[in-house]
Copies of this chain bind each other. A is one copy, B any other.
Amino acid sequence: MARNKTEVAWADPALLILTSLAGGPKHGYAIIQDTEEQAGVTLGPGTLYGALARLEERGHIRALPGEDRRRPYELTASGSAVLAERLKAMRNLASEGLARLRTAQP
Residues in A lying within 8 Å of B, measured CB to CB: 1-3, 6-12, 14-16, 18-19, 22-24, 38-40, 55, 58, 60, 75, 80, 82-84, 86-91, 93-98, 100-101, 104-105
Contact = CB atoms under 8 A, between A and B. Distances in A.
B96 A84 contact: no
Contacts of A2: 1
Nearest to A11: B93
Contacts of A88: 94, 98
A5 to B, nearest CB: 10
Contacts of A94: 87-88, 90-91, 94
A14 B40 CA distance: 20
